[in-house]
Amino acid sequence: MDSFMYLGVLVVLFLLWIKVKGLDYVIVHQRWIFVCLFLLPLSVVFDVYYYLRAWIIFKMCSAPKLHDQRVKDIQRQISDWRKEGAKTHMCTGRPGWLTVSLRVAKYKKTNKNIMINMMDILDVDIKRQVVRVEPLANMGQVTALLNSIGWTLPVVPELDDLTVGGLVMGTGIESSSHIYGLFQHICVAFELVLADGSLVRCTEEENSDLFHAVPWSCGTLGFLVAAEIKIVPAKQWVKLCYEPVRGLENICQCFTEASQNKGNTFVEGLQYSLDSAVIMTGTMTDHAEPDKINRIGLYFKPWFFKHVEGYLKDDRSGVEYIPLRHYYHRHTRSIFWELQVNRHRHMHTLDLEFDTVMFHNCK
Ligand SMILES: Cc1cc2nc3c(=O)[nH]c(=O)nc-3n(C[C@H](O)[C@H](O)[C@H](O)COP(=O)(O)OP(=O)(O)OC[C@H]3O[C@@H](n4cnc5c(N)ncnc54)[C@H](O)[C@@H]3O)c2cc1C
């Protein structure tokens, strides 16, 4: 009973404090309260739901059947739009808060929103080494499924929430892009519903003009309803070498050499000031030295860019073995350095450009 009373008193004091300070002040200056009490629990529930849903649908093999229905539903919405006189432009109905971009897409309020509820992995074709996915399948979902059966995408943009549709229609790049190119370069086919309601498949050979025009078109050519993407065999670990480098020219040279060496499956550079950086090179392996294993994705581990900064501060190189999925999604928890930078944005705006700049190298 006592503990309930203490809790009640604490809640009352907390509410009084919010009343005195103002809700705006608390949300802006004490962001951790909102993050810990609401955002984190909600994110966990959302992630678990999303993961379980994808897993169950895939295991029951019901996704391909539902896919055709979902395409028909998009065609119906477009047909309705035409019947209504096609008065406004169309756009995807995905709300802005679900996308990774911080942009507020005002056009969504006035345009005809076409709802594209397509978030499934449709098929893994080991023979052709291709996975067929719907546009809202995200990177976390794709690696969870593919890695568990020994396969992976050659290019996995880091953040879990990046979707196949966004990466094809927007852009996607990763630390393996010096070998495989951009995300669009590992795609072998796109399926789109066009503004006349027709469903079109395009590949290098079939409708090849459309195939080459789709990447970076930001949805202007049609609605993506599926993509076929190359897959490659996955290994359990990434052996990652950290190398602190000082001096802008040295940084550029080291990064260029690392990227030109095709023995490096992954190359990434994190720059902490104009003339200090850590260059990382990695390869996949099935064997790890036990004393060098670092599961960087565990919730209590330091944010990845902070961990890397340690090598710069101590001025030492190092080697670690990181579980493959932990490596892929290494920047997810901190959204690179966004969480920290946002917290200090009002004080450190100028620092932003020099503090932490990441670069990848693309073929
Ligand atoms: C904080 C941050 C971190 C980032 N990190 C990375 C990174 O690590 N690696 C990387 O490669 N990129 C990164 N990006 C860039 C990111 O990949 C692009 O912004 C990408 O387009 C966002 O994908 P999304 O899934 O949020 O798509 P959205 O923002 O929803 O969509 C992007 C565009 O594609 C269009 N589109 C989406 N789906 C469809 C569809 N089915 N049919 C037609 N059009 C469609 C949308 O209309 C929009 O124009 C980052 C961006 C931010 C803001």
Structural domain spans, the chain: 9-59, 63-233, 237-359
pLDDT range class, residue 349, cuts 50, 70, 90: very low
Per-residue confidence (pLDDT) for residue 345, from 0 to 100: 40
Q: How many CB atoms lie within 10 A of CB 209?
A: 8
Mean pLDDT over the full length of the chain:
88
Per-residue confidence (pLDDT) for residue 84, from 0 to 100: 94
Ligand 1 pocket: which of 67, 103, 141, 169 to mutate (most atoms within 8 A of CB): 169
Ligand 1 pocket: which of 74, 159, 217 to mutate (most atoms within 8 A of CB): 159
Nearest atom, ligand 1, residue 159 CA: 8
Which residues is 282 bridged to in the sheet? 240, 266
Instruction: Report pLDDT digits (tens) over 31-41.
Output: 788 888 888 89
Per-residue confidence (pLDDT) for residue 32, from 0 to 100: 82
Q: Is 173 in the pocket of ligand 1 (CB under 6 A)?
A: yes
**pLDDT exceeds cutoff 70 at 348:** no
| DSSP secondary structure string for all residues of 139-204 | HHHHHHHHHHTTEE-S---S-TT-BHHHHHHS----TTHHHH-SGGGGEEEEEEE-TTS-EEEEES
Nearest atom, ligand 1, residue 225 CA: 41
Closest among 185, 172, 296, 161 to 242, alpha carbons compared: 296
Per-residue confidence (pLDDT) for residue 343, from 0 to 100: 46
Contact, 94 vs 164, CB < 8 A? no
- Which amino acid appears at position 143 of this protein? T
**pTM of the prediction?**
0.84
Instruction: Report pLDDT digits (tens) over 51-105.
Output: 787 677 666 656 767 899 999 999 999 999 999 999 999 999 988 877 888 788 8
Per-residue confidence (pLDDT) for residue 342, from 0 to 100: 52
- Among 45-49, 55-59, 272-276, the minimum mean pLDDT is found in 55-59
- Among 125-129, 202-206, 333-337, the minimum mean pLDDT is found in 333-337
Instruction: Report pLDDT digits (tens) over 325-343.
Output: 999 999 998 888 877 765 4
Domain 63-233 sits in CATH 3.50.50.60 = no
Ligand 1 center–CA 100 separation, angstroms: 6
| Dihedral sign for Cα atoms in the order 118, 181, 216, 158 | positive
- Give, as one character, the DSSP assignment of residue 83: H
Ligand 1 center–CA 342 separation, angstroms: 20
Stated as kind and residue range, the H or E segment containing 230 is: strand 223-230
Per-residue confidence (pLDDT) for residue 14, from 0 to 100: 85
Q: Is 223 in the pocket of ligand 1 (CB under 6 A)?
A: yes
Per-residue confidence (pLDDT) for residue 58, from 0 to 100: 62
**pLDDT exceeds cutoff 80 at 353:** no
Instruction: Report pLDDT digits (tens) over 1-13.
Output: 678 888 888 888 8
Q: Is 170 in the pocket of ligand 1 (CB under 6 A)?
A: yes
Whole-angstrom distance, CA of residue 173 vs CA of residue 154: 11
